[in-house]
Structure 1
Amino acid sequence: MQTMEPPFTKQLRSLPASIPFVGPETIEREENIRFQARLGANESAFGISPNAEQAIKDGATATYYGDPTNFNLRTELAGVHGVSINQILVGGGIDGLFSLIAQAFIEPGTPVTTSRGSYPTFNYFTTLCGAALGLVPYRDFCPDLNALAKEAQRSKSRFVYLANPDNPTGIFQIRNRLENFISKLPEDCLLILDEAYIDFSPPPEILPVGKEGPRVIRMRTFSKAHGMAGMRIGYLIADQEVVAGLNKIRNQFQVSRLAQIAALASLKDSAFIDSVVAAVAAGREDYHAIGEELGIKTLPSASNFVAFDLGSPKRVSAVLEALKRKGIFVRTGPPPNNRLLRVTIGAPRERTLFAAVFKEILASEHLGASK
């Protein structure tokens, strides 16, 4: 039987065959493993707000679409952030919003600047639309803001991507550094500010919403502190004209009814979110203590994970495999940050299990090296 090669675009053919992230379910299925601790996707180990859980039960019906305008949720978000409802756009998580931004702003050859080794999904969406990616090296495991601004100026970038706190390092850029960085960008350049982990960052050092100017698109999610990764819901805050343009191509029914209901209830339960943030902070200290005990550098983190610097990608690969065989799912970062072991802050039971297995693996590693 004759076969036909699908007429994919040149941009799609340029992408690698593998997907950016292999989920734990796939690993379990293909390798006959059962994970006892999911510490690789930065999901919340602390559940969702009881109010959100009750709201889901009360509103549980699959009969109706969700409100395509997300009006109630956008109204609440606008009140929380002190902006107009017309500055809020809700979508299927930050990744869904990345896709929307790429479609709206990228044409073949459009220059875009980001850090080499940062969250890779942004690169996939922009490359698919034909962007010319300018990749700037990290500096001391941190996005190099000065170098990013210089590359944006040199290439006349349409926008720059920055995750703050960073993923996969967890390092946080404080307010005055961000303000200085924004001031150095070209006047017609947008900053895509990915703030997926911002709930775990020190509030006094967070750039206040409304102080960033019209050239910044701020991305937020309900997947981390709110514990709703399985709901796939996030939002962006931007200039009204940007939001109006994105609305023209937005999938109006992308966000389910239950996701909207749950997000709205969670947003109103600040006490629960505060408890999650406190639990994560305690977990970070546990991981830093493990690193100190083992003589392994841990990077400062303002997120719900900690990165252990194992020194080389080869060592990380071996430790990842050993952890997997012991039922612990963790991840590393994209090159050159694949010398890092990125471990989600799990529940106390998961942290205890990780600590014991990690120490056992490193002990056997040292024994093997001494033979």
Structure 2
Amino acid sequence: DNIMVGEGIDGLFGYVVRIFVESGDSVVTSQGAYPTFNYHVVGYDGQLVTVPYRDDREDVDALLSTAAECQAKLIYLANPDNPMGTWWDAEKIDDMISRVPKGTLLVLDEAYGEFAEPGTLPDIDVFNDRVLRFRTFSKAYGLAGIRLGYVVGNADLVAEFNKVRNHFGVGRVVQAAGLAALADQSHLTKVIDQVKAARGRIVEIATDNGLATVESATNFVSVDCGRDGDFATRVLNNLVQRGIFVRMPGVSPLNRCIRITAGLDHELDLFAAALPLALADAG
């Protein structure tokens, strides 16, 4: 009664927007946050209201006050955050949930939650009707290609998904893969440990090149290129030309960073070799 599976978090985002957002309704999110949620809002003719990040983290207080001002139907927050990798602790998130304005629902994206330290994800209160929590098999479980996610929350809210969801959207092969992944917790632990080690290696590589990093609770690290978005874009393009695929946030000031996935050892060796050349060529 409290869980609904769907075609990844992205598919579930489409459903939650379809359920709760009517034409002209306001939806509050952070400027530069995960963009796919925004596509659904725009697709259903909702009005996006954005709040800037503060110190590379989503500004919880500003999200709440803005939602109250515009009588938003939904607030979106990713914890840990995409694209910066930052996070709030469970106490802060619980406080946020308690302050969600009446008539507003918090869409809490916990796609990267398995990578976070204990104390990051709050306990789940299935009786709370202020929040829906979204999780996925795409990140720590490594099943992005099969599209499997789930939403957890109040039974009445979760039941609303039955009105709009694709009842044949999660096939038997996907279900079997999800069950197998859940059963193999030793593999999950191994992946999480490997990601932590890789994050540390990325920090070392960045430091060796005179660059700072943003502390991360995800499977990537944001590396601060030290200048503006144009410079970071040149660094990114130079890395891509050398066969190193990286990404970057899309708005200032976040776009001073490039985002490096926690790769395998030999992949990070290639990144370590390419980064000083990419920086030099970027000017």
Q: TM-score, normalised by structure 1?
A: 0.74
The percent identity for this pair of structures is 41
Moved more, 202-211 or 100-109: 202-211
Show the counterpart of 2:256.
Answer: 339
Distance 1:137 1:159 in 2: 17
Aligned partner letter, 1:356: A
Aligned partner letter, 2:238: A
Aligned-residue Cα RMSD (Å) equals: 1.3
What's the CA shift for 1:334? 2.0
CA contact (8 A) 2:13 2:40 kept: yes
How many residue pairs get aligned? The number is 281
Aligned partner letter, 1:325: Q
Distance 1:185 1:232 in 2: 30
Show the counterpart of 2:141.
Answer: 226
Show the counterpart of 1:353.
Answer: 270
1:328 aligns with 2:241: no
Distance 2:86 2:197 in 1: 17
Distance 2:86 2:39 in 1: 23
Alignment of 1:21-32 (within 5 A): none
Deviations 1:143-179 (A, max 9, x none): 0111111101111111100011000000011011112
SS of 2:270's equivalent in the other structure is: helix
SS of 2:48's equivalent in the other structure is: strand
Aligned partner letter, 1:119: Y
Aligned partner letter, 2:230: K
Aligned partner letter, 2:272: A
SS of 1:117's equivalent in the other structure is: coil
Show the counterpart of 1:314.
Answer: 230
Distance 1:89 1:255 in 2: 11
What's the CA shift for 1:212? 8.2
Distance 2:64 2:38 in 1: 18
CA contact (8 A) 1:313 1:340 kept: yes
1:125 aligns with 2:40: yes
1:182 aligns with 2:94: no
SS of 1:236's equivalent in the other structure is: strand
Distance 2:279 2:234 in 1: 10
CA contact (8 A) 1:179 1:212 kept: no
Structure 2: which 5+ residue stretches go unaligned? none
Show the counterpart of 2:88.
Answer: 173
Structure with more relative contact order (C-alpha pairs < 8 Å, separation 6 or more): 1
Aligned partner letter, 1:315: F
Deviations 1:60-103 (A, max 9, x none): xxxxxxxxxxxxxxxxxxxxxxxxxx111111111111111111
1:238 aligns with 2:153: yes
Alignment of 1:151-166 (within 5 A): 151-166=66-81
Distance 2:126 2:18 in 1: 27
CA contact (8 A) 2:223 2:257 kept: yes
Distance 2:2 2:159 in 1: 9
CA contact (8 A) 2:2 2:126 kept: no
CA contact (8 A) 1:119 1:334 kept: no
Show the counterpart of 1:283.
Answer: 198
What's the CA shift for 1:126? 0.6
Alignment of 1:54-203 (within 5 A): 86-203=1-118
What's the CA shift for 1:208? 1.3
Aligned partner letter, 2:8: G
Deviations 1:228-258 (A, max 9, x none): 0111111110211111111111101111211
CA contact (8 A) 1:323 1:358 kept: yes
Q: TM-score, normalised by structure 2?
A: 0.96
Distance 1:241 1:131 in 2: 23
Distance 1:217 1:184 in 2: 14
